[in-house]
Structure 1
Amino acid sequence: MLTSPYAPGSPIWAELSTPDIQGATAFYNGLFGWSFMSAGPDTGGYGMFRLGARTAAAAMPMPADEGPTSWFLFFRTPDADATAKAVHQAGGSVLVGPMDVMDFGRMAVLTDSVGARFALWQPGSNKGLDVVNEPGSLCWCELYTPDEAAAYAFYSSVFGWETTSMPMPDGSGTYRMMNPAGQGPEAMFGGFVTLGSDPAEADSGPHWQMYFAVRDCDAAVVAAGKLGGTVRVAPTDIEGVGRFAKLADPYGARFAVMRGVEQDA
């Protein structure tokens, strides 16, 4: 599971790019109970989605003709410049080189060796998300990639990730999960999925997908529909894992919701 304080190489920040901050806030408030708090007058409309008094995600305005409406995942690094260099050496691309974000931290935007986009965050005053694993917060991540072996080689080289594999309950193969270096399987935060194995992702390229925890998967799907969202995959059980569904917000940003079996314990 996601752990905080965040170890190097672990997810640390989740950011939504959207053409309508007010509309997105209304959607995610209805779905997760989030409110929006501006990061200040000098941040171009950037702000935080708050679950009570804690930051659960962030959002930035993005005109529809300037980029995709999407969720974007950041990984923690103690040195953004060194990690960006490692990304380049491992066959990835540096889209936006390391830069300071006021006193909040230092960031860079990159793609891995098979094309999935992600970002780095070297914490300054912003140490990362305040809440994870609870209803209304980030709980899991999946990398959809055309070449799982190449993707693992890339991230292992850059972050030192370790992996554990488990057989799929339906017998369709194995599911490889990753954890930060030296943190052990209890710190697993996501898994690899071969692009093309999931019809819901057939029209997308390599990408990271985020899962947010909910108390009731079916109720969340109903709420998303009433709020103008789209159901991409109806609620589905995975034995020993939980019940999940894949959604998109009214502006097309894709994500998933999950009620884990541990919530029933």
Structure 2
Amino acid sequence: MPSPTHGTFIWCELMTTDMDKAAEFYGSVVGWKAKTMPMPGMEDEPYGIFDTRSGDEDCGVAGFMILPPEMAGEIPPNWTGYVGVDDVDAMVKQVVAEGGSLRKEPFDVPCVGRMAVVADPHGAVLCIMTPVPMDNPPPMAPIGTPGTFGWQELYANDGREALAFYGKLFGWTLDHAMPMGEMGDYLIFAHHGRAIGGMMTRPPAVPVACWSYYVNVASIATAVDRIKAGGGTVVFGPQDVPGGSQIVQALDPQGAYFALVGGA
């Protein structure tokens, strides 16, 4: 029986070509504070943490690091999500058995956990991780706090095929489907009864299957102004979504795609 945390999104990470500029941009747009620290086992390569404020505490919500030079010609700067699993090695075998692929063999990150990089049968990439148990885990901001990730979205080659795949891996279930006319259904999926994201068959404008991660902000209008002022580019929105919120999708100055959700 999987643990309650198996299948939970636990982290997001930005690979960028300029950590200082990324810290400045997202600090303005989202309100994150940035700090860096040595990477365990690779002390000459800094790892950045984005913090959001919750009450009297700073809470880490995402990481950022330099896109390795050997990868720069293959993939652009990007955001990638981490899903917590009970056993990384066993999950890698299941991913492959169900038609997915292994992009990076399981490896240990000292004092953090064991992880691997996988892709679903359509090619959308995720990191999976079994975190090291902590006696005193760091503080976490409540769901919905500005600066936290509020939604996960998958553009798949076939939305229902993708949901079936992830259901086998992580226990995600269909919460409900929203018809979108010629674009098909938007499939809202849940983890232990709580809706955490959506899947859809990708439109022609989206060239490959991919995941997208939405950060909560207080005001979309303010965020749009700051995206433009900071050298980013709005590629979609603002658009109203069910529940009274708005979304916007954008590229940061280094070319990484990101999305925001919040009030007008």
Give the TM-score category using the shorter length.
0.7 to 0.9
Consecutive unaligned residues of structure 2, counting only runs of 5 or more, are: none
**Counterpart pick for 2:30 among 29, 32, 38:** 32
Q: Partner residue of 1:54?
A: 59
CA contact (8 A) 1:217 1:259 kept: yes
Q: Are residue 70 (structure 1) and residue 68 (structure 2) matched?
A: no
**Secondary structure of the equivalent of 1:189?**
strand
Counterpart in 2 of 1:152?
163
Deviations 1:39-96 (A, max 9, x none): 3263522221112421011001014336320000110101111111110111100111
Give per-residue Cα distances to partners, 1:131-173, cap 9 Å, x unaligned.
3421111000100011112211211121121112233488965
The one-letter code sitting in structure 1 at the alignment partner of 2:253 is P
Q: Contact 1:107/1:119 (CA < 8 Å) preserved in 2?
A: yes
What CA distance in whole angstroms lies between the structure 2 residues aligned with 1:124 and 1:171?
45
Q: 1:79 to 1:226 in 2, by over 3 A?
A: same
Q: How many pairs were matched up?
A: 249
CA distance in 2, matches of 1:34, 1:20: 16
| 2:247 aligned with 1:244 | yes
8 Å contact from structure 1 (residues 211, 255) kept in 2: yes
Q: What does residue range 92-241 of structure 1 map to in structure 2 within 5 Å?
A: 92-124=100-132, 130-131=140-141, 132-168=143-179, 173-180=184-191, 183-184=192-193, 187-196=194-203, 202-241=205-244
Shift of 1:203: 4.4
Separation (CA, whole Å) in 2 of partners of 1:122 and 1:128: 16
Change (3 A) 1:120 1:239: closer
- Cα displacement (A) at 1:130: 2.9
Q: Which amino acid aligns with 1:21?
A: M
Shift in CA distance, 25/112, structure 1 to aligned 2, threshold 3 Å: same
Cα RMSD for the two superposed structures = 2.4
Corresponding residue SS for 1:188: strand
Task: State the 1:228 CA deviation.
Answer: 0.7
Equivalent residue of 1:109, what SS?
A: strand
Residue 84 in structure 1 maps to residue 84 in structure 2 = no
The answer to whether the Cα contact below 8 Å between 1:113 and 1:150 also exists between their aligned partners in 2 is: no
TM-score using structure 2 length: 0.86
Q: CA deviation at 1:129?
A: 8.6
* Alignment of 1:259 onto 2:262: yes
| Contact in 1 for aligned 2:186/2:199 (Cα 8 Å) | yes
Separation in 2 of the partners of 1:32 and 1:89? Answer: 39
